Chain A
Amino acid sequence: MRDLQTYSCLLISDFNLNNLAGYLDNDGDSPSVEGIVAPFGQLMPVLTQKNLECWQSHPDFALVWTQPDRISEAFKDLLNYKPASLETALEEVDAYSSLLLNVRDSVRAVFVPTWVFPSYHRGLGMLDLKTGIGISNTLMRMNLRLSENLGGASNIYLLDAQRWVNLAGKNAFNPKLWYLGKIAFGNEVFREAAKDLKSALRGIMGQSKKLVILDLDDTLWGGVVGEMGWEAIRLGGHDPIGEAYVDFQRALKSLTHRGILLGIVSKNEEAIGLEAISKHPEMVLRLEDFAGWKINWQDKAQNIVDLASELDLGLQSVVFIDDNPVERARVREALPEVLVPEWPEDKMLYKSALLSLRCFDTPSVSKEDLERTSMYVSQRQRQELKRSVGSFDEWLKGLRTRVKVEGLNEMNLQRTVQLLNKTNQMNLTTRRVIEPELVGWTMERNRKLWTFRVSDRFGDSGLTGVVTLEVKDKTGIIMDFVLSCRVMGRKIEETMLYTVIKYAQSIGLEEIQAKYIPTPKNAPCLKFFQRSGFASRNENMFTWDVREDYKAPEYVVIEEGA
């Protein structure tokens, strides 16, 4: 099971990173990471010579953390108040960037903390942000140049070290650590760095949270709406607490713009809760901002299970926010997969508590992410149609589903990789890849990749399916069969198999094989293959005799793209 694997991260630096390695090793959060410290004082050899011993263990990731005055002589001059050319500093950044770009082929991802210089160094004081002479000004431009140089590389991520320094406060730099151990930062900085690095890794592994489930009373607004009525709840107005609730709602709404869904689980009368959301003039969040809700008097843990299931999300994708410590403890105990953050008693800290959560990092944001909430609203409309029509076939017919089938291209590469890495349930092999790996994989002539873009009368669900095939002699082996949970059960799965088998027939194959690799989350994929019509060779191996046609699903219009 990939989640339980320990990943190795090569720590490359021009200072001592042993403490960071220690924090990475001891941090209990997933994923488990072993920090391997590259030889001290060997920055350039490590970046340029892949035959060095530290590369031989084939680390999964690398972190390259340097001090700006070690990379740029011009910046070093500036630190000593000598005149220095900005152009020279930027050229030195360019040279360093080239080295980083070389490293990315050796690992799944490279992390590069931004450059900072010690807060006790006041630079030129009021002149420090002046272009041409200011130390801070130059460092900002160097970081910006680094960001621009690395921006095109899909598996290099700049991490904001200034934030770690800010969080560490006066302990961010300790000259004693430097003189005694060549440790450039205080340990609080390394602790924050380890947490951010793990958060980034969770994003890359597809373990970021996708759904925030909220309580209502004293969480989204102040007071108990069932007792006081929606007109009297504490929300907005000339009231610091009311203003804090509005700000918290704004922060929640901003999450939806990153593709994170909102839901409600609250002990209330549904009609009363929904009325407050619809009618209170200062509500920022309205019904259309929520992917779903369970407002009733049932156990909240059960309601969370039901809501996640309704939205086709696993519990490991859920964050639950509730002001009540008893409810939090109950959900933590009943549903250990759900993240239940400790929540401040002070309402004025709600927004900062939300924005500091390290569980939403993703390696990219796609068009599908940005439109996710509206897709779920469309899904709700589909379900309503399902309830209003008599049969499953009638419902499918009413959807007027269209599936556009395309190969891999520059436009859909990022989303394809994201889908492969984030999909857990309808996923045959749960293969995780980075962009260069996938592009390299598809370059072989015996391999084929299809993407599936789904739309219907309620909206565009976007690129939601991927299938890859590897041909060996007369057999086609399905390497990936991945479908977003949001379109599962709408005959898209059958459309994907139809596409594969039609292709197999066109090139004269005899058999298609699909080997299911079980994980704790992909049972839906096994169930689909069991009912797909494929023959079951053993409990995890499914085959199709290509001499037989695979029936195209009724009511799905298939469009062939490029």
Chain B
Amino acid sequence: MNVEALYPSGYQGKQEPKTKDGRVSQAIFAAIEEVNRQLPKAQQLERSLDTVLIGPSGKLDSLGLINLIVAIEQKIEEAFEVSITLTNEMMQSQDDSPFESVRNLIGYVYLLLERKYEGSADV
């Protein structure tokens, strides 16, 4: 998957993609905090766009990733009152995954929401 292609139009991949009020990243960081409550201290995720989630230098095992994805789906639903599905992507090959880092994940969620709202700038 070409992750760059998933970001909102104009996104350069250097900073956090913004919704009008940053609710996507807030929801994802809230989900990370929730997952950290279940993880051993050494495996807890940093609150950073550059945090690597999966792969050789990622901290999440398969259970951690499941928990993160379900938590993100819940937090997004609470924040936007729409449901998104991340689990289908999760089951695809990790080489092709938007779950590699927090930055990629935020971009991907933004894209899903943009599709839900049909490109509305209100996301």
| Interface segment out of the listed B21-29, B35-43, B94-102 | B35-43
Do A180 and B40 form a contact, CB below 8 Å, given A171-B74, A187-B34? no
Partner of A19, one of B38, B62, B87, B90: B38
A contact residues around B36 at 8 Å (CB): 26
Kindly state whether residue B51 has any CB partner on chain A within 8 Å: no
Whether B70 and A176, one on each chain, are in contact in the complex, defined by CB atoms closer than 8 angstroms, is: yes
A23 CB contact (under 8 Å) in B38, B41, B62: B38
Could you jot down 26 A-B contacts, CB within 8 Å? Answer: A18-B63, A19-B38, A19-B67, A22-B37, A22-B38, A23-B38, A26-B37, A26-B39, A26-B41, A174-B70, A176-B66, A176-B73, A176-B87, A177-B66, A177-B70, A180-B66, A180-B70, A181-B62, A181-B63, A181-B66, A183-B66, A187-B34, A187-B38, A187-B71, A190-B38, A191-B37
Q: Given A180-B87, A187-B34, does the pair A22, B39 have CB atoms closer than 8 Å?
A: yes
Given contacts A23-B37, A176-B73, A177-B66, 10 further A-B contacts (CB under 8 A): A19-B63, A25-B40, A26-B37, A26-B38, A26-B41, A174-B70, A177-B70, A181-B63, A187-B34, A187-B67
- Interfacial chain A residues near B34, Cβ < 8 Å: 187
**Which residues, 9 to 67 on B, are CB-close (under 8 Å) to A?**
34, 36-41, 62-63, 66-67
A321–B27 CA distance with the chains assembled, in angstroms: 34
Mark contacts of A202-219 with chain B using CB atoms, 8 A cut-off: 1 yes-contact digit, 0 otherwise: 000000000000000000
Residues 13-35 of chain A, each 1 if its beta carbon lies under 8 Å from chain B, else 0: 00010110011011000000000
Q: A177-B70, A187-B71 are in contact. Are A16 and B37 (CB under 8 A)?
A: no
Q: How many B residues touch A, CB cutoff 8 Å?
A: 18
**Bound-state Cα–Cα, A174 to B74, Å:** 10
B87 and chain A: residue at smallest CB distance: A176
Q: Which residue of B lies closest to A27 (CB)?
A: B37
Tell me the nearest residue of chain B to A18, going by C-beta.
Answer: B63
Q: Which of B39, B63, B74 has the most CB of A within 10 A?
A: B63
Main secondary structure of the interface of A (DSSP, over half): helix
User: Which A residue's beta carbon lies closest to that of B62?
Assistant: A181
Q: Write out the residue numbers on chain B whose beta carbons fall within 8 Å of the beta carbon of A190.
A: 38
In the docked arrangement, what's the CA distance between A19 and B62, Å? Answer: 13
Residue of B nearest to A24 (CB): B38
Complex Cα–Cα for A19 and B71 (A):
13
Chain B residue nearest to A180 in the complex (CB): B66
- Shortest distance between the CB of B34 and any CB in chain A (Å): 7
User: Residues of A with Cβ closer than 8 Å to B?
Assistant: 16, 18-19, 22-23, 25-26, 171, 174, 176-177, 180-181, 183, 187, 190-191
Which chain A positions have C-beta within 8 A of B67?
19, 177, 181, 187
A177-B40 Cα distance, complex, nearest whole Å: 20
Cα–Cα, bound, A340→B73 (Å) = 35
Contact A16 B38 (CB under 8 A): no
B74-94 interface with A by 8 A CB criterion: 74, 87, 90
Taking a contact as CB atoms closer than 8 A, the residue among B40, B69, B73 that contacts A22 in the complex is: B40
A187 to B40, CA, bound (A): 16
How near does chain B come to A211, taking the closest CB pair, in angstroms?
31
| Chain B residue contacts of A18, Cβ below 8 A | 38, 63
Partner of B63, one of A16, A174, A176, A191: A16
> Shortest Cβ distance from B122 into chain A, in angstroms?
25
For B66, the chain A residues whose CB sits under 8 A away are 176-177, 180-181, 183
A22 CA to B38 CA, complexed, in Å? 4
Give the 3 A-B residue pairs with the shortest CB-CB distance, closest first. A22-B38, A181-B66, A180-B66
When distances are taken between beta carbons in the complex, the residues of chain A under 8 Å from B38 are 18-19, 22-23, 26, 187, 190
Compute how far the CA of A297 lies from the CA of B66 in the bound complex, rounded to whole angstroms: 56
A183 to B35, CA, bound (A): 14
Chain A nearest CB, measured from B87 CB (Å):
6
CB of A258 to closest CB in B, whole Å? 31
Question: CA A16 – CA B70 in complex, angstroms?
Answer: 15
- Expressed in whole angstroms, the Cα–Cα distance for A191 and B70 within the complex equals 15
Please measure, in the bound complex, the distance between the C-alpha atom of A180 and the C-alpha atom of B90, giving whole angstroms. Answer: 10
Q: What CA separation (Å) do A23 and B34 show in the bound complex? A: 10
Bound-state CA distance A191–B71 (Å) is 14
Complex Cα–Cα for A180 and B62 (A)? 9
Q: For the complex, what is the distance from the CA of A137 to the CA of B4, rounded to whole Å? A: 55
CB distance from A172 to the nearest CB of B (A): 12
Contacts of B62 in A (CB 8 A): 181
Q: How far is the CB of A560 from chain B (nearest CB, A)?
A: 56
Q: CA of A18 to CA of B43 in the docked complex: distance in angstroms?
A: 14
Shortest distance between the CB of B61 and any CB in chain A (Å): 10
Complex Cα distance, B40 from A181, in Å, reads 18
| Bound: A355/B39 CA distance, A | 30
Most B CB atoms within 10 A — which of A18, A180, A183?
A180
Set of chain B residues within 8 Å of A183, measured between Cβ atoms: 66
Cα distance A455–B75 when bound, in Å? Answer: 60
Expressed in whole angstroms, the Cα–Cα distance for A98 and B70 within the complex equals 37
Shortest CB distance B98–A (Å): 17
Q: Look across to chain A and name the residue whose beta carbon is closest to the beta carbon of B61.
A: A18
A23, B67: Cα distance in complex, Å = 13
| Min distance, Cβ B88 to any Cβ of chain A, angstroms | 11
Chain B residues with CB under 8 Å of A177's CB are 66-67, 70
Provide the residues of chain A in CB contact with B69, threshold 8 Å. 176
Question: B70 — which chain A residues lie within 8 A by C-beta?
Answer: 174, 176-177, 180, 187
